[in-house]
Amino acid sequence: MTDLAPIKYVTANELSNQYFDNMRPGALGQITRNGVKYNLTGNNYSDLKAIADAHYNDLINTPQGQQYYKQLLK
């Protein structure tokens, strides 16, 4: 931090890590391969989008988030 840049630069990934780092894998269903059933667990796109949508205002209301949003609109 300096007088010219009083806010620490963080990447978009670092800015959003607090929301995505503690995700727990959910059930994704069952598949069968060679007669063996497997239960799939993990996170899919809709899980990630739901978290991003829920925390959009938190992210965009930070000075760093506003800069990323302005760059995205260009």
Question: Taking the domains of the chain in order of start, what are their residue ranges?
Answer: 12-73
Q: State the pLDDT at residue 38.
A: 92
For 5-44, give one letter per residue: b (16+ CB within 10 A) or e: eeeeeeeeeeebeeeeeeeeeeeeeeeeeeeeeeeeeeee
Q: State the pLDDT at residue 72.
A: 79
Degrees, nearest 5: CA angle 4-64-10: 85
Q: State the pLDDT at residue 1.
A: 44
Residues of the chain with pLDDT under 50: 1
Residues of the chain by 3-state class (helix, strand, coil), percent to 5? 45, 20, 30
Q: State the pLDDT at residue 4.
A: 61
Q: State the pLDDT at residue 36.
A: 92
Q: State the pLDDT at residue 5.
A: 63
